Amino acid sequence: MSGPDASHERALHAMGHLRVAGVDEVGRGPLAGPVTAAAVVLDIATIPQGVNDSKKLTAVSRAALSKQIHDVAEVAIAHASVAEIDEINILRASHLAMIRAIAALKPAPDFVLIDGNMIPNGLTLPARNVVGGDGRSLSIAAASIVAKTSRDRLMMDLARQYPGYGWDTNMGYGSKRHREALQNLGVTPHHRRSFKPVHNILYQAKSVST
């Protein structure tokens, strides 16, 4: 596969859907931090060169492209909190963040392209899911870049407030350093208590205290 293109967007434009939003999320897997989604309406005539699946780009490239996307496209970013993740589960929280990002676009898009194999419950706009969308649709790829860049910045800010967990490099994922810090430093308010490694440490601490 050569990378994302605008074929999905062009086909929808031909059907009369002129405001097509690509939507993607980042942060389902980490042990800490929110899940973040972005919705992006691109102008096909001014797509920044190099837009691709965010996982295939360096942090420097992502940051530069995110700025360019903000300059030429309509962008909305939203989060679902750790508390919401723990309350409703990570899948539903991811969908909630997506719906919030889409709702923040004003005016609303005519059609939504969603990365993945599901359309979020509660989305009332016309939509289509695209499996592997960040590698197939330029709008979704742009959303993946914006979401990843936004969440990474947030985790870097949290890393300064909670040093020792390595969030500035692991972004909350369960790296060796992060897991060791959980054992040694304990659980912070930004850890997902419903995730097994965090839950187990809390359970151990409770068992020791009793």
Model confidence pLDDT, tens digit, residues 147-204:
999 999 999 999 999 999 999 999 999 999 999 999 999 999 999 999 999 999 988 7
The residue among 118, 133, 122, 117 whose CA lies nearest residue 100 is: 122
Phi, psi values for residue 66, rounded to 5°: -60, -45
- Full 3-state SS string of 164-194: CCCHHHHCCCCCHHHHHHHHHHCCCCCECCC
Task: Tell whether residue 43 is among the known ligand binding residues.
Answer: no
Query: Which of these CATH numbers, 3.90.226.10, 3.40.50.1100, 3.40.50.720, 3.30.420.10, describes 7-209?
Result: 3.30.420.10
**Percent of the residues in the chain that have a pLDDT greater than 90, as a whole number:** 94
What mean pLDDT do residues 59-88 have?
98
Chain centre distance of CA 73: 18
Query: What pLDDT does 209 receive?
Result: 52
Query: What pLDDT does 167 receive?
Result: 98
- Which pLDDT band holds residue 210 (cuts at 50, 70, 90)? very low
Task: Tell whether residue 53 is among the known ligand binding residues.
Answer: no
Task: Tell whether residue 25 is among the known ligand binding residues.
Answer: yes
What mean pLDDT do residues 35-43 have?
98
